[in-house]
Chain A
Amino acid sequence: MKPATEPVGAQRADEESVGGRPAGEERVSGKTGNDEPAGHESVQEEPVGVQPADEELAGEQTTDVPPSGEGSPAGRPSGKRSSDKRSPGGRRPGKRTTGGRPSNEPHSGETPADEPEPQIGDAPRNGKRSATTDADEKPDASVAGDELGAVDVPAKSGVPAKSGVPAKSGVPAKSGVPAKSGVPGESGEPGAAEEPEPTAEAAAIGDAGSRGGSESVGRAATGGGSGTVGRAATSGASKTVGGAATGGSEAVGGAATGGEAGKNVDAVAEAGGDEAVSEAEQAGGQEAGGQAAGEELPAEAAETLTTALDTLRESVADLHFGLDLPGVEEARQAQADLLAQLEGYVLPRVRTSTAPALIVVAGSTGAGKSTLVNTLAEKTVSRTGVRRPTTGTPVLACHPDDHEWFAEGELLGGLQRLDAPTPDAGPGSLVVVSTEKLPQGVALLDTPDIDSVVEEHHDIAHRMLDAADLWIFVTTAARYADAPAWNLLRLAKERGARLAIVLSRVQPRSVDVVLKHFVRMLTEYGMGDIDRFVINEAKVTDGRLPDSEVTELRLWLAELSVDEERRAQAVRETLNGVLDSFRTRVPALAKHLEGQVAFRTELRSDVEAAFRSALMEIDKAYKNGSLLHGEVLARWQDFAGSGDLMRSLQLRRRGKAAKQAPERVLAFKAAIRTGLESVIVAAAHRACEEVVARWRHRSELGAKISEGLDSPSDNLIRHTGRAIASWQDHLGELVRTEGVAKRSVSKLVSFDPDSLALIFMVAMFSGSNGEGVPHRLVNALLGAESLRGIGAKALSDLRARISMLFDEEAMRYVKALDSAGIPDESVATRLYQATYNLEVAR
């Protein structure tokens, strides 16, 4: 329905606007009459699951205003919002009615900045006015809408900006991300928002009021030109549908074309999920059908969301940080938290949105959390005392009717349920107690502290908070400036959790000073408008405060209990806050994993670089003649000077083999081998040291992994000796088989291949470019061509052998690295994918 409004552009806008108002009126009346019914219906329909009511409402509305079904959805959302806002402020009835229409109001309530905008102001008025007034106004609005449509581009741009801004401010988390559309099922609003001209907008806003509107706006802003409008509509539709954000966005592409877009949107509504796109194209103009389908969509949407969350959970569970890099502990903790929150809170919440709200009482040790819970429950459900910390096992107190849900429910499913606190209860347990003194639909959870020496308590408390629908933060007059307390407040702010603050143990005589100071601190922190309750220091009897101290708080709870819509709103807001927090928390995990992968890659490349430069060093050694030093040089002098060199050459005539002095040749060969060996071993030493130095430099972990690896393996020398020996043999073989002497020479002279191979090596390593004696000899005997051939082969063979040796050495490092743990790179990608899918599903 909503989609229709937007797509149609001008025409639709008219219709919608018209329809929208009626819907709005209806709603208003509905709300004023009895809020609850509407709320229920809407709950079922809404995609997010939490907000089903909206969808139902939408459905009804659709029926009511078939053509402009969109309007009605918008109206509902706004209704919800308004209720939400009121709840905190305590402005319930009046506001609600007003709010019913104007989603803006809620915004305004939350963020003052929004209100200032003229549009917003209009919207509320519209809402308040009677149907007739609305009707009158509407025409104008529609006209305006048409005009806008005509001016497509400008209108759009204008609209998104306007609506977008307020929306953002109102619902901070949603603003930036396109995915917002998915969240609340209030698709209708988006449409309205889009049409928007100032006037028209006002009307639209009135209808749309709800978040959906703002969200759609956000999208519209993202897009450009007419396409934007189309998108906005689509997105709206998708929202209505439920979680099928993907489908929605795709549909947008298809729908982009002007008037058709509207139809498409409807189609989208039908299609619901991803298929929306294709269906949208096919669907042409079955608006009615679309509406009808709209009612069923919510379940599907919830399912899509659940699937997306499941995927996310699996990806997070698969996450494995192999390396103990700095920050890994935090990352592991974050992973565990995320997993626990997904399993213990988000998934159950999405599946069953009607569950009673869980209010978690958290705060410092000795702040009086247990006392507070006991007092509210009018029963000693949680032990109190002077010992700090007192409470170690979380205690949940709820109305007997809700007991079953909490005792067996999936919420905090990982915890073992107990009936009464026992001293030996492990950290994985939860005491569930029922008391009739607590109103239905709200449960209080007394948690361990957040700042005592017992650090497990902090973890438990945070886990409980992760599963909370509302937070009650308890601090005391002595503690309100403590750093841990403010850390918790910051966390609540980050998570967008609904929060109430209790300042307890205040001496009656200093209440003014303390409260004033505290409020100033809160205001500086941007939390000045949060619900606050003050409890004076009073005599605690039997673990309870005098009832008079908590009257206000009890009232607040009761309201929450009675006003289901407000409760649902609070629940939804916190859930959204949590889902929003995934946007940063999950990528942060993925980022850490990527960091690990990158670290590993770096370490590996260190190894490669070190050994590569070692190889190059060796290459240089046999090119610059530095091998021909020391013993090799002496042996060569011996070989040449003692006449063995000459004797290795014989004139053919005198027959072949001349007598050699085998010891000298062997010694010469051995000297060359030793020389090469030492060059290789020295290079390997340097490479190993370099690897270790680089790893040390990189991180402590690198230093740890490299322990005991700062010199080459014991096998290296042996293996090198063997490798060089076999290379020498290979060269001898080459000389024998390929070194056929030039014909002109072979007629005259014969030579001893072994000696020639030695001369060949000297020629290879002497570095002088064909200048020296060995070169000339070999050249004369074998000819330049086969000299080059053998030379190239011998060299590459030598290189291959050395690099094999080095590979073996490098393997030790790789193995050490592997044994330190292998992070799985693919999981990071999957995490990003899962986060994206979740956003789309919302």
Chain B
Amino acid sequence: MTTTTTRPGLAPRLTALTKVVELGPGRLDKKLLDEAGGLLLRAGDRLKLSSEHTVVALAGGTGSGKSSLFNAISGLELSPTGVRRPTTARTHACVWGLEGAAPLLDWLQIQWRHRFSRASALDKGDSQLHGLILLDLPDHDSIRALTDTEADRLIGLADLVVWVLDPQKYADASTHRRYVTDLAGHDAVTVFALNQADRLTTEELAELVIDLNDLLRREGVDHPSVVPTSAVTGRGVESLKSVIATAVSRRRAAIQKLEADLHRLEQRLGEAMPLGQALSAPSSVDEARRMGLTDALCDAVGVPAVGEAMENVYAERSGQWVAWPYPRLFAKLRPDPLKALRLEDVSAEIRGITTGSVSAQSAEVANAVQALADGLSVGMHPVWRSAVHQAARSRSGQLPQALTEDLTEVAPQLDRIPGWWRALKVWQYTLVAAFVAGVVWLVAGLLMPGQLPPQLELLGDGAALPWVGLMMASVLGLGALSGIAARNFVELGASRERERLEREMRRRVAAVSATMVVEPVERELGRHHSFFTALRDLSV
């Protein structure tokens, strides 16, 4: 027994088909998938079983003479014939060369009592038929066949099908529409026996053969092999035998049949899932798309806005710490509108607003994911399109939450007060104190000349007064200047902080989206790619 390795062509195609069947569920029509699975099983079974034997089935309508022909070929009255229609209800089998045939017959589900064998010793003339398993099928077109699929099943399993036609029935729709059209491409493993030729004159027979050939060609059987036979007179039986013998001795019919079946399946798969440009579709998410997704997700979280808010809030806040206190004191004197509204406590709350954390807006997140999937699945088959979408969305339920949690860790503390703000505040108040002290000193010196301790008697000398004034003005100026400078520092620091923050947030967004969106999408894209690769391999 040879194995698949010696049959180049079929094995890789079956492997490809396996791949298709594996990846197909949910993407391919259930019926087609079942058929593909069935073919795989059948191919596996048939290739495992005896390759020395060729299963030839005699199929046809009721009354065409299948059983008569069966008997004529086997030379024995094995299958009962009769005038009642339908006659044969169970498949009969006759084996030439029994060795190794039993598993095959089991697989074909032929009942024991309907199995016959022709020992090669008995019929020397039939040595070229060695390895033949001839099946006499029940009909497929009688009212009995409506509830019996035996014929259908075995027509599918047989390596070579001999269609037994007769002058009355050769153009029946039940044969042609249901089987022959379906068998287009099976030329090599289909033979048409025009039985009951004895009922016609030679001219009639010739006309009929031409007509049948035309008919078959119209139905896509490019090279029909038509053999006129007569089970009654025995005419043509020998040529049918030799046609069968050729197939049997070449031991290729099983492979050819599978190849033809594969070919048909492949065409149907191609119709259901056209290859088209499918292989040029992206198989991974490229850098630009990742960037786009990250950008969109950052927008959903409001990263730029968060940065801006931080900058603005810091600037505003810092005013209370680092600014020159006097303007603030003046501002405090201004009446508070909230007080007028009796909403004094609101101002505290307003300050509290800024302590809120970063969060992602789920609708925008959904849109961002959607956009990514849309972009990736352009031109794909709708089934795959929706598969990509589904993959993209597979974890989008948790995505906003995950983003929120991850980013909250790095969210700026808007109510944070840096140490140097406090230092500056001390410095500012020191200056204020110095100024106040200066004023006190000056006033005291002016009002109570001489009463001050001598060490402080600096103003005894009137000429010193301008200097004192200058000193005090300097203190004021210094305060104002340091306020402005500090403010600038704050802003500078804030904008730096903002840049850092945005970078950090982007990084985190990208990381989250990579695991929760890009990864499942890439898995689906990979599946898409390998599915179509397998489909392409199948057709090679």
Contacts and interface: CB of A to CB of B under 8 A. Distances in A.
Interface of A: 364-367, 386-389, 451-455, 458, 476-484, 486, 505, 507, 510, 513-514, 517, 621, 626-627, 629-638, 640-643, 645-646, 649-651, 653, 664, 667, 671, 674-675, 678-679, 681-683, 685, 689, 707, 710-711, 745, 748-749, 773, 776-777, 780-781
Interchain residue pairs A-B with the least CB separation, the first 7: A631-B302, A478-B63, A630-B361, A638-B309, A634-B305, A388-B171, A481-B85
A776 B342 CA distance: 11
Interface in B114-133: none
A777 B362 contact: no
A653 B334 CA distance: 11
Interface residues of B, number: 80
Contact of B337 (A633, A682, A749): A749
Where chain A touches its partner, the secondary structure class is: helix
Contacts of B362: 626, 629, 682
A651 B361 contact: no
A633 B356 contact: yes
B1 interface: no
B85 A773 contact: no
Given A386-B167, A482-B61, A749-B337, A635 B382 contact: no
26 contacts: A364-B168, A365-B168, A366-B167, A386-B204, A388-B171, A388-B172, A453-B172, A479-B62, A481-B143, A482-B143, A629-B362, A629-B404, A630-B360, A631-B301, A631-B361, A633-B358, A637-B354, A651-B335, A664-B312, A678-B363, A681-B363, A681-B367, A748-B341, A773-B349, A773-B350, A781-B341
Nearest to B196: A478
A638 B313 contact: yes
A512 B64 CA distance: 20
Interface string B293-324: 00000011110111011001101110000000
B83 A514 contact: yes
A748 to B, nearest CB: 4
Nearest to B180: A453
Given A452-B173, A629-B359, A635-B302, 18 more contacts: A388-B172, A453-B171, A481-B85, A481-B144, A513-B82, A629-B404, A630-B302, A630-B359, A634-B358, A635-B309, A636-B353, A637-B356, A641-B309, A649-B341, A651-B340, A664-B312, A674-B299, A773-B353
B313 A386 contact: no
Contact of A386 (B62, B146, B207): B207
B171 A641 contact: no
Interface string B1-37: 0000000000000000000000000000000000000
B392 to A, nearest CB: 12
Contact of B142 (A367, A482, A641): A482
Given A481-B85, A645-B350, A749 B361 contact: no
Q: Of A386, A451, A479, which is in contact with the most chain B CB atoms at under 10 Å from its CB?
A: A386
Interface string B161-189: 00000111111111011000000000000
Contacts of B64: 478
B471 interface: no
A59 to B, nearest CB: 50
Contacts of A777: 341, 343, 346
Interface string B364-405: 101100100010000000100110010000000000100010
Given A626-B362, A634-B305, A641 B63 contact: no
Interface string B331-357: 000010110111100110111011010
B432 interface: no
Contacts, number: 238
B208 A386 contact: yes
A426 to B, nearest CB: 19
B341 A749 contact: yes
A589 B162 CA distance: 43
A626 B361 contact: yes
A483 to B, nearest CB: 5
A366 B168 contact: yes
Given A451-B174, A667-B305, A780-B341, A477 B374 contact: no
Contacts of B385: 710
B141 interface: yes
Interface of B is mostly: helix
A513 B84 contact: yes
B315 A642 contact: yes
B110 interface: no
Nearest to B352: A773
B337 to A, nearest CB: 4
B156 interface: no
B84 A514 contact: yes
A451 B312 contact: no
B215 interface: yes
Nearest to A386: B204
A483 B174 contact: yes
Contacts of A479: 62-63, 85, 168-169
Contacts of A386: 167, 200, 204, 207-208
A634 B83 contact: no
A627 B361 CA distance: 7
B145 interface: yes
B168 to A, nearest CB: 4
B169 A366 contact: yes
Contact of A365 (B171, B301, B305, B374): B171
Contacts of A646: 337-338, 347, 350
A828 B300 CA distance: 54
Contacts of A667: 305, 308
Contacts of A482: 61-62, 85, 141-143, 174
Contacts of A627: 361
B170 A388 contact: yes
A643 B320 CA distance: 12
Contacts of B82: 513
A671 B305 contact: yes
A104 B356 CA distance: 98
A637 B142 contact: no
Contacts of B219: 453
B211 interface: yes
Contacts of B72: none
B86 interface: yes
Residue of B146, B219, B350 with most partner-chain A CB within 10 A: B350
Contacts of A507: 83
B518 interface: no
B48 to A, nearest CB: 36
B513 to A, nearest CB: 15
Highest count of chain B CB atoms <10 Å: which of A364, A366, A481, A679: A481
A467 B200 CA distance: 35
A524 B291 CA distance: 77
A478 B308 CA distance: 93
A727 B1 CA distance: 81
Given A514-B83, A631-B361, A477 B63 contact: yes
A643 B336 CA distance: 13
Interface in B80-137: 82-86
Nearest to A513: B83
B262 interface: no
Given A451-B172, A482-B62, A710-B385, A641 B354 contact: yes
Contact of A780 (B171, B300, B342, B350): B342
B171 A480 contact: no
Nearest to B61: A482
A609 B83 CA distance: 64
A749 B404 CA distance: 38
A310 B521 CA distance: 63
A298 B400 CA distance: 83
B168 A630 contact: no
A483 B145 contact: yes
Nearest to B342: A780
A364 B404 CA distance: 77
B414 interface: yes
A649 B359 contact: no
Contacts of A653: 335
A340 B362 CA distance: 62
